[in-house]
Protein backbone atom coordinates (compact mmCIF):
# COMPACT_ATOMS: atom_id res chain seq x y z
CA UNK A 1 0.00 0.00 0.00
CA UNK A 2 2.92 2.36 0.70
CA UNK A 3 4.14 1.97 -2.89
CA UNK A 4 0.72 2.77 -4.31
CA UNK A 5 0.28 5.88 -2.16
CA UNK A 6 3.87 7.04 -2.66
CA UNK A 7 3.71 6.63 -6.42
CA UNK A 8 0.31 8.36 -6.54
CA UNK A 9 1.68 11.38 -4.64
CA UNK A 10 4.74 11.75 -6.88
CA UNK A 11 2.68 11.27 -10.04
CA UNK A 12 0.09 13.82 -8.92
CA UNK A 13 2.82 16.36 -8.13
CA UNK A 14 4.70 15.86 -11.42
CA UNK A 15 1.54 15.94 -13.51
CA UNK A 16 0.14 18.94 -11.63
CA UNK A 17 3.35 20.93 -11.95
CA UNK A 18 3.70 20.07 -15.64
CA UNK A 19 0.13 21.05 -16.47
CA UNK A 20 0.27 24.28 -14.48
CA UNK A 21 3.55 25.26 -16.16
CA UNK A 22 2.75 24.21 -19.71
CA UNK A 23 4.27 27.43 -21.08
CA UNK A 24 7.71 26.50 -19.73
CA UNK A 25 10.40 25.31 -22.17
CA UNK A 26 10.01 21.70 -23.29
CA UNK A 27 13.26 20.75 -21.55
CA UNK A 28 11.60 21.61 -18.23
CA UNK A 29 8.25 19.84 -18.65
CA UNK A 30 9.14 16.82 -20.81
CA UNK A 31 11.09 15.04 -18.04
CA UNK A 32 8.21 15.58 -15.61
CA UNK A 33 5.74 14.20 -18.14
CA UNK A 34 7.97 11.14 -18.52
CA UNK A 35 8.10 10.69 -14.73
CA UNK A 36 4.34 11.19 -14.38
CA UNK A 37 3.38 8.88 -17.23
CA UNK A 38 5.82 6.19 -16.12
CA UNK A 39 4.43 6.47 -12.62
CA UNK A 40 0.86 6.23 -13.89
CA UNK A 41 1.74 3.08 -15.84
CA UNK A 42 3.35 1.47 -12.78
CA UNK A 43 0.46 2.64 -10.58
CA UNK A 44 -2.06 1.00 -12.91
CA UNK A 45 -0.03 -2.21 -12.75
CA UNK A 46 0.12 -2.09 -8.95
CA UNK A 47 -3.61 -1.43 -8.54
CA UNK A 48 -4.72 -4.18 -10.90
CA UNK A 49 -2.01 -6.77 -10.13
CA UNK A 50 -2.07 -7.10 -6.33
CA UNK A 51 0.56 -4.42 -5.66
CA UNK A 52 3.11 -5.58 -8.25
CA UNK A 53 4.32 -3.94 -11.43
CA UNK A 54 4.99 -6.20 -14.39
CA UNK A 55 8.69 -6.25 -15.27
CA UNK A 56 9.56 -7.92 -18.55
CA UNK A 57 13.02 -6.73 -19.58
CA UNK A 58 16.07 -8.45 -18.14
CA UNK A 59 19.43 -6.80 -18.67
CA UNK A 60 22.48 -9.00 -18.22
CA UNK A 61 26.03 -7.94 -18.97
CA UNK A 62 28.08 -11.11 -19.18
CA UNK A 63 27.68 -12.98 -15.90
CA UNK A 64 26.41 -9.85 -14.15
CA UNK A 65 22.65 -9.56 -13.62
CA UNK A 66 21.98 -5.82 -13.67
CA UNK A 67 18.25 -5.50 -13.39
CA UNK A 68 14.69 -6.32 -14.32
CA UNK A 69 12.52 -3.44 -15.46
CA UNK A 70 9.83 -2.21 -17.84
CA UNK A 71 9.27 0.75 -20.17
CA UNK A 72 7.65 2.78 -17.38
CA UNK A 73 10.81 2.37 -15.30
CA UNK A 74 12.87 3.60 -18.24
CA UNK A 75 10.68 6.70 -18.60
CA UNK A 76 10.92 7.49 -14.88
CA UNK A 77 14.69 6.99 -14.78
CA UNK A 78 15.33 8.94 -17.99
CA UNK A 79 13.16 11.83 -16.76
CA UNK A 80 14.92 11.93 -13.40
CA UNK A 81 18.39 11.80 -14.96
CA UNK A 82 17.48 14.54 -17.42
CA UNK A 83 16.18 16.73 -14.58
CA UNK A 84 19.37 16.22 -12.56
CA UNK A 85 21.58 17.06 -15.54
CA UNK A 86 19.46 20.11 -16.34
CA UNK A 87 19.75 21.34 -12.75
CA UNK A 88 23.51 20.76 -12.59
CA UNK A 89 24.44 22.20 -15.97
CA UNK A 90 23.59 25.88 -15.95
CA UNK A 91 23.89 27.82 -19.20
CA UNK A 92 26.75 30.30 -19.38
CA UNK A 93 25.86 33.96 -19.09
CA UNK A 94 27.34 36.17 -21.79
Give the residue extent of every domain in the chain: 2-88
**45, 50, 73, 86: which is the annotated catalytic residue?**
73
The DSSP string of 7-63 is HHHHHHHHHHHHHHTTTS-HHHHHHHHHHHHHHHHHHHHHHHTTT-----EEEEETT
Task: Encode the chain (94 residues) as per-residue pLDDT tens digits.
Answer: 776 787 788 778 877 877 787 787 887 778 888 888 888 888 888 788 877 777 777 878 888 877 778 888 889 999 999 989 988 887 766 5
To the query of whether residue 50 is one of the catalytic residues in this protein, the response is no
To the query of whether residue 45 is one of the catalytic residues in this protein, the response is no
Q: Give the pLDDT of residue 43.
A: 82
Q: How many CB atoms lie within 10 A of CB 54?
A: 12
Cα-flanking dihedrals φ and ψ of residue 69, to 5°? -155, 180
Amino acid sequence: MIFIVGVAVVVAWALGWSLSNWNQPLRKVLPLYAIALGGIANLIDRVFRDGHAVDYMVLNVGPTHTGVFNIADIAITAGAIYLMIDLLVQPRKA
